[in-house]
């Protein structure tokens, strides 16, 4: 019935800080359009970024910065992701570690964004 995820929303303290982080560390592209939330684009998905107190309707019942926990699939080797994290002073909390994702075994690293959201980036094996 459901084929995939189109986008999700992050409620953040600062759109500028969040966008700068994801652009610098993970290579996301920022999209600003009139009367629409700022978006971060990657692959064929996006993350809409709502600043707390300036959210768009409809929205979650209790949007809160730092409450997200999500997994992204790497588009390049996990070693390159780890190198980008290190080069940008982002501490890896866990990993690389083996996990089981939606498509099977994968290797993951976990770190936090500026709001404290837990970000997992994973690489599936061959």
| Active site (catalytic) residues | 120
Which pairs count as long-range contacts for 97-101, CB under 8 Å and 24+ apart, including other chains?
A: 101/71, 101/73
Please give the backbone phi and psi of residue 80, each rounded to the nearest 5 degrees, phi first.
-70, -35
Question: What's the Cα-to-Cα distance from 41 to each of 62, 93, 94, rounded to whole Å?
Answer: 24, 25, 25
Distance between CA atoms of 23 and 17, rounded to whole angstroms?
10
């Amino acid at each position: 019935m459901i084929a995939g995820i189109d986008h999700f929303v992050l409620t953040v303290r600062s759109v500028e800080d969040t966008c700068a982080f994801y652009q610098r560390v993970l290579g996301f592209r920022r999209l600003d359009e009139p009367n629409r939330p700022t978006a971060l684009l990657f692959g064929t998905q996006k993350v809409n970024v709502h600043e707390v107190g300036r959210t768009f309707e409809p929205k979650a019942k209790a949007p809160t910065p730092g409450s997200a926990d999500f997994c992204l699939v790497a588009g390049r080797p996990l070693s390159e992701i780890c190198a980008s994290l290190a080069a940008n002073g982002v501490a890896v909390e866990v990993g690389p570690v083996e996990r089981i994702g939606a498509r099977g075994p994968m290797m993951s690293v976990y770190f936090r964004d500026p709001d404290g959201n837990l970000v997992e980036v994973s690489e599936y094996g061959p």
